[in-house]
A and B are shown apart, each in its own frame.
Chain A
Amino acid sequence: MKAYLAFVKKEWTELFRTYKLLILLIVFLLFGLMNPLIAFYMPEILAAAGIDPSTLGLADPTALDSFAQFFKNVGQMGLIVVVIVFANTMAGELSKGTLVNVLTKGLKRRTVVFAKFTVASITWTIVYFVAFAITYFLTDYLFVIGSFSNGFLAFFGLWLFGLFLIASVILGGILFSRMVGSLLFAGGLVVVMTLLNIVPTFQKYVPATIASVNVSLLMGTLETSDFVPALIICGALIVGFVSASILIFDRKQV
Chain B
Amino acid sequence: MDILSVKNLTKSFNGIKAVDNLSFEVPAGTIFGFVGPNGAGKTTTMKMILGLLKPDEGKAIIDGMEVKYGETRTNEVVGYLPDVPEFYSYLKPKEYLKLCADITGMPSDLFIIRQQELLHLVGLDNVNKKIGSFSRGMKQRLGIAQALLNEPKLLICDEPTSALDPVGRKEILDILLAVKGRTTVIFSTHILSDVERICDHVVVLKEGKLVLSGSVSELKNKHHNDRLFLEFETEAEAALFLKKSPFAIIGQLDRHFLIGAENIEKTKADILNWLVKADLYPKKFEVLEPTVESLFLEAVK
Contacts and interface: CB of A to CB of B under 8 A. Distances in A.
A18 B85 contact: no
B23 interface: no
B26 interface: no
Contact of B86 (A98, A107, A250): A98
Contacts of B86: 96-98, 100-101
A254 interface: yes
Interface stretch (B94-102, B251-259, B268-276): B94-102
B71 A106 contact: yes
Contacts of B100: 101-102, 105
B88 A5 contact: no
B231 to A, nearest CB: 37
Contact of A6 (B76, B82, B102, B143): B102
B99 A102 contact: yes
Contact of B80 (A2, A6, A98, A104): A104
Contacts of A104: 50-52, 75, 78, 80
A106 B76 contact: yes
B42 to A, nearest CB: 16
Interface string B130-159: 100000000000010010011000000000
B99 A10 contact: yes
Contact of B104 (A7, A10, A14, A105): A105
A102 B86 CA distance: 10
Interface residues on B, range: 20 to 34
A106 B85 contact: no
B53 A5 contact: no
B95 A13 contact: yes
A3 interface: yes
A5 B99 CA distance: 10
Given A2-B105, A104-B75, A251-B70, A14 B52 contact: no
Interface in B84-139: 84-88, 90-91, 95, 98-100, 102-105, 130
B54 interface: yes
Given A100-B52, A104-B80, A106-B75, A17 B99 contact: no
A55 interface: no
Given A104-B50, A106-B76, A253-B53, A14 B88 contact: yes
A101 B87 contact: yes
Contact of A7 (B76, B78, B103): B103
B90 A6 contact: no
B52 A3 contact: no
Contacts of B75: 104-106
Contact of B71 (A6, A7, A10, A109): A109
Interface string A85-115: 0000000000011101111111111000000
Contacts of B103: 3, 6-7, 102, 105-107
Nearest to B132: A17
B280 to A, nearest CB: 46
Contacts of A254: 52
B150 A105 contact: yes
Contacts of A2: 102, 105
Contacts of A97: 82, 84, 86
A108 B71 contact: yes
A254 B50 CA distance: 11
A100 B82 contact: yes
A98 B70 contact: no
Given A7-B103, A100-B80, A253-B52, 20 more contacts: A2-B102, A6-B102, A7-B99, A10-B88, A13-B90, A13-B91, A98-B87, A98-B88, A101-B85, A101-B100, A101-B146, A103-B52, A104-B50, A104-B78, A104-B80, A105-B104, A105-B146, A106-B76, A106-B104, A253-B54
13 contacts: A2-B102, A6-B103, A96-B86, A98-B88, A100-B80, A100-B82, A101-B86, A104-B52, A104-B80, A105-B104, A105-B150, A106-B71, A250-B70
